Every structure is written in C-alpha cells, then in structure tokens.
C-alpha cells in the first residue's frame, strides 16, 4: 500500500467518523468501504502501530476499581488491545470483535498461546452487536467509531467503557472528548477520567448501576 493510499485512507476514516457520529444512519453507506479498507490493511496493521500506541489504554485499565469478568474489545483489528486487556486482567474472558473478517483472521493467527484459552475473536458490526444486554463489565474502543446506543446496551450496570485514540486528536478515527462525554452522559454514564500517555489519549466512563 503506497503512502498516497495510506493518506487517502486516513482522510476517509476521519470523514466516516465525523459523519457517522453525527448521523449514525449514514453507517450503512460507509460500512462497505470501511470493511474493504480494513480488509486490505489487515496483513500490515500490527506493524503500523507505534511502540507506545496503547500506553494511555494501560493507564485507564490501571484505574479500574475492580477487574472485569468479561471484556469486549470493539473494533479489535489484529487484537492488540484485546491482548493488552487479557494480560492486564488474567482472570478475564476477552472477546475481540471487528467488522473486517480479514482483521479477525489475523488476530486469531496472532493470538499468543498463553492467551488462547481466554481470548476469542469474531466478526461483528458495532452498530448491531450479536451480544446480549449487559454482557460485558468492560468495553474498549481503540481507534474505533462509537455507536453509543449499542455501547449502552452491552455494558453491564456499573461497568466501564474506555475510548482510546493512539495519536490523540491526530488519530484518523477520533471523536472529541466533549462529544464523547455528551453522548455518554445522556445514556447514564458518569465518573469520567482522562488519560494521556505517549502521544495517545483515553477516556474512561462508568455506566450507572440503576440504583
């Protein structure tokens, strides 16, 4: 993939993110091209990540009050964030989901043997997830377009969600923190915390427990 193609891909990712966050119904238009884009990048996706890409995610995970039993890495790509969560919480079951079947296949192939029993991957559309309501105590989105209604549905009461952007505002798939807070607050999330590490940023939020 040439540098020109990479630059065009980054511009498309930012365009799709901005459009879909504002008008989620536009996802049906962007979904086919997004899947194709990430299918093409799957063989080289891991090599494109910097050494400190997940440093802010690790900081957010450190701040969780208790380890999750089940965690979802949404938009998992080649599974790097899923592996980070699994190593951070050695008793957790971790599911990695991605729109791109090529990314899922690469993640499965790259799964370290010591994590194979606790981490699994499947193809799924974040706008319509194949998981039951309240299925996860933790949901991680690393450089991922958020679909807030589905997040509210699959995060368990009292559970947490972490949004990570590996290059902060320069990340092609990036949502301003004030927009994240507004959308989450309207769905019962609170206890927001911001993290910066390396060139990345993360936002942690807790879903209300219904009491």
The structural domains of the chain, with segments of one domain joined by +, span 3-207
Relative to beta strand 119-123, strand 189-197 is unpaired
Nearest-angstrom CA–CA distance, 130 and 149:
14
DSSP E strand stretches across the chain: 70-74, 93-98, 119-123, 136-142, 155-165, 189-197, 200-207
CATH of domain 3-207: 3.40.50.150
Contacts of 14 (CB under 8 A, 6+ apart): 172, 173, 174
Q: What pLDDT is stored for residue 1 in this prediction?
A: 53
The secondary structure of residue 169, as a DSSP letter, is G
Per-residue model confidence as pLDDT tens for the chain (211 residues) = 566 666 777 898 999 999 999 999 999 999 999 999 999 989 888 888 877 889 999 999 999 999 999 999 999 999 999 999 999 999 999 999 999 999 999 999 999 999 999 999 999 999 999 999 999 999 999 999 999 999 999 999 999 999 999 999 999 999 999 999 999 999 999 999 999 998 899 999 999 986 5
**What CA–CA distances, in Å, run from 95 to 70, 119, 125, 173?**
8, 6, 14, 21
Q: What pLDDT is stored for residue 44 in this prediction?
A: 87
How far does Cα 5 stand from its chain's mean position?
23
Q: What pLDDT is stored for residue 173 in this prediction?
A: 94
- Would residue 76 be called left, alpha or beta, if left means φ above 0 and alpha means ψ between -120 and 50 degrees? alpha
Q: What pLDDT is stored for residue 10 in this prediction?
A: 86
* 3 state DSSP class of 83: helix
How far does Cα 12 stand from its chain's mean position?
18
Order of strands across the sheet with 136-142? 119-123, 93-98, 70-74, 136-142, 155-165, 200-207, 189-197
Angle, CA of 97, 160 and 181, to the nearest 5°:
100
């Amino acid at each position: 993939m040439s540098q020109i193609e990479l630059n065009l891909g980054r511009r498309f990712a930012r365009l799709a993110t901005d459009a879909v966050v504002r008008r989620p119904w536009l996802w049906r238009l962007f979904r086919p091209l997004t899947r194709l884009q990430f299918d093409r990048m799957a063989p080289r996706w891991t090599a494109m990540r910097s050494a400190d890409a997940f440093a802010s995610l690790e900081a957010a995970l450190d701040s969780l009050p208790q380890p999750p039993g089940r965690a979802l890495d949404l938009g998992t790509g080649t599974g790097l964030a899923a592996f980070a969560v699994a190593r951070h919480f050695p008793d957790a079951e971790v599911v990695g989901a991605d729109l791109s079947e090529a990314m899922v296949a690469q993640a499965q192939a790259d799964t370290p043997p010591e994590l194979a029993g606790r981490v699994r991957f499947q193809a799924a559309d974040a706008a319509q997830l194949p998981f039951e309501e309240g299925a996860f105590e933790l949901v991680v989105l690393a450089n991922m377009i958020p679909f807030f209604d589905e997040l509210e549905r699959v995060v368990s009461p009292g559970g947490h969600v972490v949004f990570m952007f590996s290059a902060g505002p320069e990340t092609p798939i990036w949502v301003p923190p004030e927009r994240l807070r507004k959308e989450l607050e309207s769905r019962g999330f609170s206890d927001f915390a911001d993290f910066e590490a390396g060139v990345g940023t993360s936002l942690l939020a807790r879903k209300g427990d219904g009491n």
